[in-house]
Structure 1
């Protein structure tokens, strides 16, 4: 499966979490519950600040 993993900072509590760029379900912050990623029919919509690409897969 091709896709990237990103380290994202939560806009509410500033927790940093690794998420998949093609997530098929909502991903919430493990600390405060804010939605970080929403599925978008392929590439997901990331709602936090992307700090870095952790791993690229092709």
Structure 2
């Protein structure tokens, strides 16, 4: 399984969280609960800003 991990900033509380690029379920912010990533069947759709690629594969 090839995929990358990204550091995403929450649009509401500006918390930074690491998210898998091919997330199979919704990923919520650990602080405020806002949705950060939605599954699309392939690469996830990010709601927040992608700050950096943490680990590329």
Judge same fold: TM > 0.5, yes or no.
yes
Structure 1 stretches of at least 4 aligned residues deviating more than 4 Å after TM superposition: none
Aligned partner of 2:39 in structure 1 is 39
Query: How many residue pairs end up in the alignment?
Result: 57
| RMSD (CA atoms) | 0.4
TM-score by structure 1 length?
0.96
1:4 maps onto 2:1 in alignment: no
TM-score by structure 2 length?
0.98
Gaps of 5+ in 1: none
